[in-house]
Amino acid sequence: MTVHLVGAGPGDPELLTLRAARLLAQAEVVVHDRLVSPLILGHAAGARLIDVGKSPGEPSGSQQSINTLLVDLGRHGIETVRLKGGDPFVFGRGGEEAEALAAAGVSYTVVPGVSAALAAPMMGGAPVTHRGMSRSVAIVTGHDERGELSAVDWPGLFEASDSLVILMGAAQFGSIARQLIEAGADPDTAVLAVTRAGWESQEDTRFRLSDAEHQKLQAPTTILVGPVAQLDFRCPDPPVGYPG
């Protein structure tokens, strides 16, 4: 028996990996985040579901309490899946949970997931890299553990990369955009915000950096900043009668 730290992907159930689906089907307990689709949880029909999700501005369990829960389940020999949106190790605190399990002598595995950092912009039609436009991409969280603006060098980060992907930055993006513009970023820089990527209710919003403070973005939103954000490679609807 072991604890599996599993990435659920950005939301679309069809982006769940085969290994993740198999482990969910075998699980006795699934400890999941709030951003995991109910359709994905449906793979764990025989498991007890424990919701430990954190919602912005609302009381929630601490990371320490989640670590303790996973260690307790593992020590009792319960086949457990810790299911996290996206990838466990991309701002998912999977590393902290792995450290806690290792320190307690509990065996665990890590199952990568499709990160929203790459998938969400694509679902909105934009690549994070594109020949002649973007040869580098930086991925950063928009807020810290207290929900405040992440203390990173925003102008320096923007200067060092062609594309900037911001996770968990919906509430702080107006402040981030202002810092970038004050540091010399072109106010006309393209921005793509993808909300609830991979869900039926997905929303894509395109605007310029100068308009950021007028946007009302809701979590969960992935934000792409840079020339590639103006691209839209979504396949148009096929004509009526198209056999595909």
Query: Which of these is catalytic: 122, 144, 168, 232?
Result: 168
Query: Which of these is catalytic: 12, 33, 84, 87?
Result: 33
**Catalytic annotation present for 54:** yes
Which three-class secondary structure string do you get for the chain?
Answer: CCEEEEECECCCHHHCCHHHHHHHHHCCEEEECCCCCHHHHHHHCCCEEEECCCCCCCCCCCHHHHHHHHHHHHHCCCCEEEEECECCCCCCCHHHHHHHHHHCCCCEEEECCCCHHHHHHHHCCCCCCECCCECCEEEEECECCCCCECCCCHHHHHHHCCEEEEECCCCCHHHHHHHHHHCCCCCCCEEEEEECCCCCCCEEEEEEHHHHHHCCCCCCEEEEECHHHHCCCCCCCCCCCCCC
**Catalytic annotation present for 123:** no
Query: Which of these is catalytic: 54, 162, 204, 211?
Result: 54
**Catalytic annotation present for 216:** no
Residue with tokens 């025989």, as numbered in its chain: 46
* Catalytic sites, residue numbers: 33, 54, 168
